[in-house]
Amino acid sequence: MNNKFVIETQNLTKKYSKFVAVDDLNLQILEGEVFGFLGPNGAGKTTTILMLMGFCEPTSGLVRVNGNDPAREPIKVKKVVGYMPEKIGFYDDLTARENLEYTGRLNGLDSKTLGDRIDKLLEEVGLKDKSGQVVGKFSHGMKQRLGIADVMIKQPGVAIFDEPTSGIDPEGTDQVLNLIQDMAKQKVTVLISSHQLHQVQRICTRVGIFSKGKMVAAGSVDKLGRDAFRKGKFNIILPVAQLTDNVRDDVMKIPGVVALETIANNTVVTADDDISKQLEDVVLRSTGLRVQMKVEEFQLEEVYMKYFKES
């Protein structure tokens, strides 16, 4: 095991009698990463998360969170990890504030620190006006928002969210994603399981695609796209059928360009970044022409669908 990984598993396996829910999983997550778990229902995402939290014992293999074994050292792990489960449970007869106070006290926070944090967090998750309302009367989305605040109250080094935005309205989703991104900026390592691919693409530094208990692909969205389609994340389409060899050479020298091909009457340049500005300069320098170009960015959806069409 290597200490630089905040979350690490080796050959992690979970069986429910003969059924293999998590199959020989090797996962390595660095400090400050936002790692996304993707995959269809039943793929093993939640089971993996439960093993990381020490809520479910692995059948075999190793797990380390911050260097600790969650099954043997659950208190050490729970001290640094904030966890938002798929189904969040609050005390229905307590108010939003009282629920957060309860979590804060469990984590040893004094009243002053706790009071300040609760005010700030309730404001950030958009529940300031509802702080005195009992949670039993909250809508699903309001509970999700409170769940985010509940994770953040202890200022965790690692935050694990199992489908944090399911059931939240678009504006709320946006706020939640921003909050998660802010956590990552403060070096919090984030693991998030989600079915909402565009959201995952927006905030995750890397993703792992799960299928039938196995992680069938992992990497940045760019890398997955390259592996799946043998091309970069961006397609820049020039309405020019033929470029001279010199221009082609210059285009291929632009950092980030991975391929250039002629399709119909267009030249399609694929690249890891949006290099349209540099491309425009190269074409202008070599031909004196300023050409209109179209930029297409591939979406995580395409990569995801490709993995499941073929499996």
Binding region for Mg ion (CB under 5 A): 45-46
Say whether residue 45 binds ligand ATP (CB under 6 A). Answer: yes
Closest distance of CB 161 from ligand ATP, Å: 12
Query: Toward ligand ATP, which CB reaches closer, 55 or 229?
Result: 55
User: 10 with 61: CB under 8 angstroms?
Assistant: yes
Element (H, E) at 170: helix 170-185
Say whether residue 177 binds ligand ATP (CB under 6 A). Answer: no
CA distance 192 to 37: 6
Instruction: Count the Cβ atoms, other than its own, within 10 Å of residue 62.
Output: 14
Say whether residue 39 binds ligand ATP (CB under 6 A). Answer: yes
Number of residues that bind ligand ATP (CB under 6 A): 11
Structure-token match 């210059």, residue found: 250
Say whether residue 47 binds ligand ATP (CB under 6 A). Answer: yes
DSSP 127: -
DSSP 135: G
Closest distance of CB 37 from ligand ATP, Å: 8
Which residue type occupies 78?
K
Q: In what order do the strands lie in the sheet with 60-65?
A: 19-30, 5-16, 60-65
Q: How far is CA 247 from the centre of its chain?
A: 39
CA distance 187 to 208: 20
Query: Toward ligand ATP, which CB reaches closer, 44 or 232?
Result: 44
Binding at 97: pick from Mg ion, ligand ATP, none (beta carbon under 5-8 Å per type): none
Q: For ligand ATP, what does the binding mask look like between residues 71 and 90, x meaning CB under 6 A?
A: ---------------x----
Closest distance of CB 160 from ligand ATP, Å: 12
Closest distance of CB 223 from ligand ATP, Å: 22
Residues that bind ligand ATP (CB under 6 A): 16, 21, 39, 41-47, 86
